[in-house]
C-alpha cells in the first residue's frame, strides 16, 4: 500500500474535475443524502433564511442592544493562522478575543482601512448561536440570544438526510481583511451567506498533502493592557497541527498536483461543504453568514480514510530547516 | 502516505467491529441511502418477494418447460475459482456451461453426492433475469422469461435511494457443494434468499490485502465430447487477478489482521452487501436466491479509494515461487 499521494490526487481529479454543481432550489432529504455520499461541494440556491430580508446594521445593533459579543482581533486579519513571530519562528496564532457591543463592532467594520488598524472578525464558531446543547434540552446560553428567533436552528433537509441535529450553528460577520486560513473539519457544513459574499478556495481530501501540514508552536495575540497594541505571546508546551501553505493563491505555493476549486457564495446562496474538504475563506466588506455544522458519519470507512489521507503519524515539525516556509505576505 | 495496510485494517476494525445490523423491516429509501453511505453489511427482514410462497420444484419445472438454461458445471463445485492444474500450476478456472432443462437441473440437484459426480450450479449472473437493457427499453431476452412475472424488476427503496435502476437481476440455484470463491464487486448488492440458506463470509475493503490478490493464468473446464469428463484447458494469453486465499475458513489462511464477518441468510431474509466488500458464499442444498446489482456511486472518492485499498499496480504473479499457495482442499 505504497501509492504515491500524487496518484490518488490525480485519479480523483481525472474522475471528478473541478466542477461544482449548482442546485436552483434546495434538495430533498433523499437528494441531499446522495450528495453527502458523493461528498463534493454543491452551491444551493433558494434556501429560505428570512433573516436575509431585514438584517441591516440598525436592526442588528438595536436587537443586540447592550449585550457584549466576543470578537476576534488580530493585526493582520488572520485568526487561527500560521504567522511568523518576532523571533523568526512560525507559530499557529489564535486571535485576541475582545468583548464589544454589536453597534460598536459594526461601526468598526465600516471604518476605512489604514495600515495600522486592527482587524475585527466575528467568528467565535463555537456554536455561537446554537450548540448541540440546544437539541439535548440542556441550557445553551448564547451571546446572540436576541437574534435566535431570526435564525433557523436547523436545516430540515440536512437534518433529515443525516438523521441528526446540528452540532453547532454559527454567525459570522467580517470584512475583506478577515481571512480564514485553509483547514478541514470533520463536519458536514451548510454555509449560507446573508449579506455580502464569501470566496471559498477548496481542495478535496485527496489533495490535503499539498498543504504540508506541520506541527507548529501555539501562540495568541494578546494585549498587555487595555489600550496596548497586540503582541504575539507563545503558549508554553502547546503545539498545533496546521497547513504550512498560508495563502494557496500565491503562485508556487501549491504543487501542480493540487486542483483548487474556487466558488463565490453570494447573499442568498448556500454552500454544501463536505466533511474533510480543505477550505480557505475570504469575503467582501460586511459579509454576514450563518453556518450549520453536522457531525460527519463516523461509522464505516470515511473517518479512517480521511485520517489516512491527512497522513496521520508522519507530521514533521513546522520550524525544521527543510519544511518551514516563511510567511510571504 | 506510507501507512502499513495493517493500520487501516485495525483502525477500521476498532471503529466498526464485526457486528452486522439487523432490520426487522425494509428501510425507507432515505434510511437505505444512509446505510449505503456507511457501507456496512445489513441483514434485512420482511422484503416482500411473492415468489417465495409458491416456488417449489414442480412449479419451477412446469413454468420453464422445455426452455434450456445455462448451468455452470465443475468437478469440484468451485466456479470462477483458483484451482491447481494437472501441471501443478494454479489457474483461475471458469466453469463449463451446459444447457439443460430446469426439470433436469433440479433433479440433478437432488441426487445424493458421490465422489465422482459433477457439481451443477445455476449462477449465470449476467443479469440472467433482467439486465440494464430492460430498463433502457431495449430487447432483453432471458432464459428465465417464463419466471419474470414472479420476480420484482427492482427493489423500490434501493432504486429510490440510489437514484437508478438495477444493472442486473440474477437467479441463483445451488447446493452445499457449490461455492463462490471470495471476491468483491463494484456493485451495491441486494441479495434475497427464496428457499434454503446462504452462508456469507465477508471482509471489509480495508482487509482485501489479506486475500493476496495475484495474477493467475485463465483456464476453463471443458468437455472434449458430450459424454467426456471435464478437463481444465488453459486459455492462451488470458490472465485474471484473483484472491489467492481459496478458503478463508481454513486455519492459517488469513492473517490475524483479518476480521471476517459471518452471516447466514435464511429464506425470506435479504442481505445488503455494500460495494467493495469481499464475499465468500456457500449454501445449503437446493438454495434459491435472487440478487439485484446496482452500480455503485462512481463520483467522489469511493471508487478511487476502493481501488487504492486493493493495491492497484502492485499485483505479483500467482505462480511465482514466493507468493503461490497450493490448493489445500
Inter-chain CB proximity B15 and A40 less than 8 Å: no
Residue A34 CA to residue A16 CA, distance in Å, equals 16
Torsion of the alpha carbons at B107, B109, B110 and B111, rounded to the nearest 10: 90
pLDDT reported for residue B53: 85
Which residue of chain B comes nearest to A20, CA vs CA?
Answer: B300
Inter-chain CB proximity B33 and A38 less than 8 Å: no
Closest-CA distance, A305 to chain B, in angstroms, reads 8
Closest-CA distance, B154 to chain A, in angstroms, reads 18
pLDDT reported for residue B315: 86
Q: At residue B50, does pLDDT exceed 60?
A: yes
Which residues sit opposite B119 in a β-bridge?
B74
pLDDT in tens, B76-127: 999 999 999 999 999 999 999 999 999 999 998 887 655 568 999 999 988 9
Inter-chain CB proximity A304 and B15 less than 8 Å: yes
The stretches in chain A having pLDDT less than 70 are: 1-3, 112-116, 312-313, 321-329
Residues 304-323 of B with CB under 8 A from A: 304-305, 307-309, 311-314
What percent of chain B stands above pLDDT 90? 85
Inter-chain CB proximity B1 and A209 less than 8 Å: yes
pLDDT reported for residue B206: 96
> Bigger pLDDT: A144 or B4?
A144
Give the relative orientation of helices A29-38 and B29-38 as an angle to the nearest 10 degrees: 10
Reported ipTM: the value is 0.92
pLDDT reported for residue A312: 61
Segments making up each domain of chain A, as ranges: 5-65+96-212+245-303
In terms of Cα–Cα distance, which of A159, A160, A157, A192 is closest to A27? A157
pLDDT reported for residue A248: 95
Inter-chain CB proximity B33 and A307 less than 8 Å: no
Is the domain B5-65+96-212+245-303 a CATH 2.60.120.10 member?
yes
Residue A70 CA to residue A97 CA, distance in Å, equals 6
* B9 at A interface, C-beta within 8 A: no
Q: At residue B325, does pLDDT exceed 80?
A: no
Residue A208 CA to residue A241 CA, distance in Å, equals 13
Residues 26-45 of B with CB under 8 A from A: 29-30, 33-34, 36-40
pLDDT reported for residue B3: 61
pLDDT in tens, B186-230: 999 999 999 999 999 999 999 999 999 999 999 999 999 988 999
Give the residue carrying C-alpha cell 440570544: A145
* B162 at A interface, C-beta within 8 A: yes
Closest-CA distance, A242 to chain B, in angstroms, reads 17
pLDDT confidence of B11, banded at 50, 70, 90?
A: very high
pLDDT in tens, B220-260: 999 999 889 999 999 999 999 999 999 999 999 999 999 99
CA distances from A142 to A97, A130, A131, A134, A279 (A): 16, 7, 9, 10, 26
Q: At residue B174, does pLDDT exceed 50?
A: yes
Within chain A, residue ranges assigned H as helices are 5-16, 29-38, 57-64, 102-110, 132-136, 156-162, 302-310
* B19 at A interface, C-beta within 8 A: no
Inter-chain CB proximity A163 and B5 less than 8 Å: no
pLDDT reported for residue A314: 72
Residues A212/A315, Cβ–Cβ less than 8 Å: no
Within 10 Å of residue B14's Cβ, how many Cβ atoms? 9
Amino acid at each position: 500500500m505504497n501509492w504515491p499521494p500524487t496518484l490518488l490526487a490525480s485519479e480523483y481529479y481525472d474522475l471528478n474535475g473541478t466542477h461544482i454543481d449548482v442546485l436552483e432550489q434546495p434538495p430533498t432529504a433523499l437528494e441531499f443524502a446522495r450528495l453527502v455520499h458523493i461528498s463534493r461541494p454543491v452551491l444551493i440556491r433558494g434556501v429560505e433564511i428570512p433573516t436575509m430580508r431585514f438584517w441591516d446594521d440598525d436592526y442588528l445593533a438595536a436587537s443586540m442592544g447592550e449585550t457584549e459579543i466576543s470578537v476576534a482581533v488580530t493585526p493582520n486579519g488572520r485568526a487561527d493562522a500560521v504567522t511568523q513571530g518576532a523571533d523568526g519562528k512560525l507559530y499557529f496564532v489564535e486571535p485576541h478575543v475582545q468583548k464589544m457591543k454589536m453597534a460598536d463592532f459594526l461601526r468598526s467594520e465600516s471604518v476605512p482601512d489604514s495600515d495600522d488598524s486592527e482587524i475585527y472578525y466575528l467568528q467565535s464558531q463555537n456554536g455561537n448561536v446554537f450548540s448541540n446543547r440546544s437539541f439535548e434540552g440542556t441550557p445553551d446560553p448564547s451571546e446572540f440570544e436576541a437574534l435566535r428567533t431570526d435564525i433557523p436552528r436547523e436545516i430540515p433537509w440536512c437534518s433529515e438526510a443525516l438523521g441528526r441535529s446540528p452540532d453547532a450553528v454559527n454567525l459570522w460577520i467580517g470584512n475583506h481583511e478577515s481571512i480564514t486560513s485553509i483547514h478541514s473539519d470533520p463536519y458536514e457544513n451548510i454555509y449560507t451567506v446573508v449579506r455580502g459574499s464569501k470566496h471559498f478556495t477548496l481542495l478535496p481530501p485527496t489533495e490535503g498533502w499539498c498543504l504540508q501540514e506541520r506541527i507548529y508552536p501555539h501562540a495568541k495575540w494578546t494585549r498587555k493592557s487595555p489600550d496596548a497594541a497586540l503582541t504575539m505571546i507563545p503558549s508554553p508546551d502547546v503545539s498545533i497541527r496546521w497547513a504550512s501553505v498560508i495563502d494557496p493563491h500565491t503562485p508556487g505555493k501549491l504543487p501542480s498536483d493540487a486542483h483548487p476549486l474556487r466558488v463565490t457564495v453570494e447573499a442568498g446562496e448556500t454552500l454544501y461543504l463536505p466533511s474533510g474538504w480543505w477550505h480557505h475563506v475570504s469575503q467582501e466588506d460586511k459579509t454576514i453568514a450563518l453556518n450549520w455544522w453536522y457531525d460527519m458519519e463516523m461509522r464505516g470507512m470515511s473517518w479512517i480514510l480521511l485520517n489516512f489521507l491527512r497522513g496521520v503519524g508522519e507530521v514533521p515539525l513546522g520550524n525544521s530547516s527543510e519544511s518551514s516556509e516563511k510567511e510571504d505576505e
